[in-house]
Structure 1
Amino acid sequence: MGKFKTTVLRTATMALAIFALGACVTINVYFPAAEAQEAAEEFVEKVLGDEAAPAPAGDNPQAFRAPAPARFSLLSLVISDAAAQEADITIRTPAIQAIQDRMAARFQDSLQPHFDSGALGFGKDGLLVLRDATKVALKDRVAVNQLVAEDNRDRNAVYREIAVANNHPEWEAQIRETFARQWVASARAGWWYQAADGSWKQK
């Protein structure tokens, strides 16, 4: 009988400790990487147009890799399913849509020929880079530099706006990284992109 009471007491003490720990835990909402990648793909493909189809993930050195599944822990027993869920990512706000429309018009009307020629490339930071000015006619270089600057302002703005629109401004860097991968994944064959080490590669 004494052994039974001791076992019950230990079990009750352990349960109380777990619930007390759970009450003190601040629930972190983890960055929803898969949802962000889907949002980036939708956004990027509209900007680049129908002809810029994404390459198979296995052929792309910067292709998105989903994170490993979370491990089970005793603490998960005291966290509600709602709290443990990852947040979703939305890109359907007026501000984001306006930036997307500007970028699509600019790219399809003016920037695309300079990607086709090899003058422009996708930087590793999710921005545009004039990688070879010699491929731009001298009379057009000022205009192309201005277009690149305007597009990069919109890119910086949209990465920030997506994070803010989803109530997590601290996600901006991760959103930028996700988009940087997606610009490469959606690029046409022959376009240039910057690898993680800063070198330039042709897709």
Structure 2
Amino acid sequence: MRRWMGVPVAAVMLTACVTINVYFPAAEAKEAAKEFVEKVIGDEAQQSQPKPQDKPGGQSASLNPQRSDSLALRIDWLSLVGIGTAQAQDQPDINIKTPAIQAIQSRMASRFDSQLRAHFDSGALGFANDGTISVRDASKIPLPERVGVNQAVAEQGRDAKAVYREIAVANNHPEWEQQIRAVFARQWIDSARGGWWVQDAGGGWKQK
């Protein structure tokens, strides 16, 4: 009887280990997406974010005690089923500093500033809900510029899709591509300037 009672415990331990191995670091992905997107869009979004203030004793205000407590509780629970604390703490960061990713980021930033920004300001373009840019109102683009703008939008979309794939591969988890894309799609919308247009989950457009 005791031998069979040990089976569920072993199954729980195995499941916990598997969960750790396939864990998608959503918070880290959001931070990486924010850094990437704000560099593409420009410095204004970054400057608008409040800087963390140091507290007495050298402790940064950006530290989240609740998050720390939550992590401690999770680690303590995992240690009870035999998973080492070091393994639980070793959650992967999202690396966006590879040469390939930075080359794409540089292209996207240059294209956005020189060819796309003015058409976001006019309302012609908007951030779509799939992590790309869409022509929302072609009538707002002067006729002589339409071919060039359409081409820039298509190129920006190809680079966006390429970078989502590249980030997943660079972090040794190609299966994360769709999750990376979903996080970035949300971040483009969150980082949009006031007055720009964004697409909601249902496909409708609204102005920020």
TM-score normalized by the length of structure 2: 0.77
User: What's the secondary structure of 1:27's corresponding residue?
Assistant: helix
State the 1:187 CA deviation: 1.0
Does 70-79 or 119-128 show the bigger shift?
70-79
User: What's the secondary structure of 1:34's corresponding residue?
Assistant: helix
1:161-201 C-alpha deviation (Å, 9 max, x unpaired): 00000001111111111111111111110000000011001
1:79 maps onto 2:102 in alignment: no
1:140 maps onto 2:145 in alignment: yes
Aligned mate of 1:153, from 137, 155, 158: 158
2:170 corresponds to: 165
Aligned mate of 2:120, from 104, 115, 126: 115
User: What's the secondary structure of 2:203's corresponding residue?
Assistant: coil
% identical equivalent positions: 60
1:94-114 C-alpha deviation (Å, 9 max, x unpaired): 000000000000001111000
Q: How many residues align structurally? A: 182
Uncovered stretches (5+) of structure 2, i.e. residues with no partner = 50-66
1:137-156 C-alpha deviation (Å, 9 max, x unpaired): 11111111000010001000
2:35 corresponds to: 42
Larger helix percent: 2
Aligned mate of 2:98, from 78, 93, 101: 93
2:182 corresponds to: 177
Aligned mate of 2:11, from 10, 21, 45: 21
State the 1:46 CA deviation: 0.5
User: What's the secondary structure of 1:139's corresponding residue?
Assistant: helix
If you compute each CA radius of gyration, which structure gives the higher value, 1 or 2?
1
Uncovered stretches (5+) of structure 1, i.e. residues with no partner = 1-8, 57-65
Aligned mate of 2:201, from 196, 200, 203: 196
State the 1:27 CA deviation: 1.7
TM-score normalized by the length of structure 1: 0.79
Distance 1:160 1:54, change over 3 A: farther
What is the root-mean-square deviation in Å for CA atoms of aligned residues? 2.8
User: What's the secondary structure of 1:129's corresponding residue?
Assistant: strand
Q: Check the 8 A contact 1:163/1:169 in 2, yes or no.
A: yes
